Amino acid sequence: MTRIMLDPEKLKPDCDSCDGLCCVSPVLDLPHYQKPAAQPCKNLDVVNLRCRIFETLEDEGYPFCRAFDCHGAGPAVTALFREVGRSWRNDADAGKVEFDVFNIVYATLHRRLADDPPLITDVTEEHHEALRPFIDAVLIWLSDHGADEVGDHFGVRTDGTDAER
Ligand code: SF4
């Protein structure tokens, strides 16, 4: 049985290394703006992946954006999909998988690390088994020590016997 040990101190966002997953994957359901899952926010520059209104988020009704912490899920999922050269930016089918993996990894980290509200997504429980190899790959990427190290800090296991995803 192998467990993946994750160090909360290392689980930090890195927007410069992310394909803007938190600005594309989740639903936005605001009084002044609604967007479905898996669609870029209207404020996202999809070329440089920067928020066009980042300096004025609060004034424009998006205070949660600055407060949001992906705990490293965004750059880790981005790294995995960049390795295979496919992502939401060039392949809609790969993008669907990428978003579901991001949502599940974020939910996994969020349950253990934070009190911030979960993202609103359209990911379903049925996807979990099919996506498990991707999810485990991302969690291993996030781990300081990789899958060979044994630990139970988060109780995340790669054999699925006690996975809390
Ligand atoms: S307002 Fe900016 S930070 Fe918030 S989701 Fe849209 S692009 Fe991302």
3-state secondary structure the chain: CCECCCCHHHCCCCHHHCCCHHHCCCCEECCCCEECCCCCCCCEECCCCEECCHHHCCCCCCHHHHHCCCCCHHHHHHHHHHHCCCCCCCCHHHHHHHHHHHHHHHHHHHHHHCCCCCCCCCCCCCHHHHHHHHHHHHHHHHCCCCCCCCCCCCCCECCCCCCCC
Q: Which domain holds residue 138?
A: 8-142
130 alpha carbon – ligand 1 mean position (Å) = 29
- For position 8, what pLDDT does the model report? 78
> By alpha-carbon position, which residue is closest to atom 8 of ligand 1?
23
- Residue 43 near ligand 1, beta carbon < 6 Å: yes
Number of structural domains found in the chain = 1
Q: Report the alpha-carbon distance of residue 91 to residue 157 in Å, rounded.
A: 30
32 alpha carbon – ligand 1 mean position (Å) = 13
Tokens of 164: 């809390």
Domain presence at residue 108: yes
Domain presence at residue 76: yes
5 alpha carbon – ligand 1 mean position (Å) = 31
Domain presence at residue 88: yes
Q: Does the structure show a pLDDT above 80 at 23?
A: yes
Q: Which atom of ligand 1 is nearest to the CA of 41?
A: 6
Radius of gyration of the chain (CA): 16
43 alpha carbon – ligand 1 mean position (Å) = 6
What are the pLDDT digits (tens) for 83-140? 999 999 999 999 999 999 999 899 888 877 766 555 566 666 677 778 888 888 888 8
Domain presence at residue 160: no
Q: Report the residue among 59, 62, 119 best suited for mutation to probe ligand 1: largest number of ligand atoms under 8 A from its CB.
A: 62
Measuring CA to CA, which residue among 37, 3, 118, 24 is closest to residue 77? Answer: 24
48 alpha carbon – ligand 1 mean position (Å) = 13
Q: For 117, phi and psi rounded to 5 degrees?
A: -70, 145
Domain presence at residue 15: yes
Tokens of 43: 């404020």
Domain presence at residue 164: no
Does the predicted TM-score (pTM) go above 0.75? Answer: yes
Domain presence at residue 92: yes
Q: Does the structure show a pLDDT above 80 at 38?
A: yes
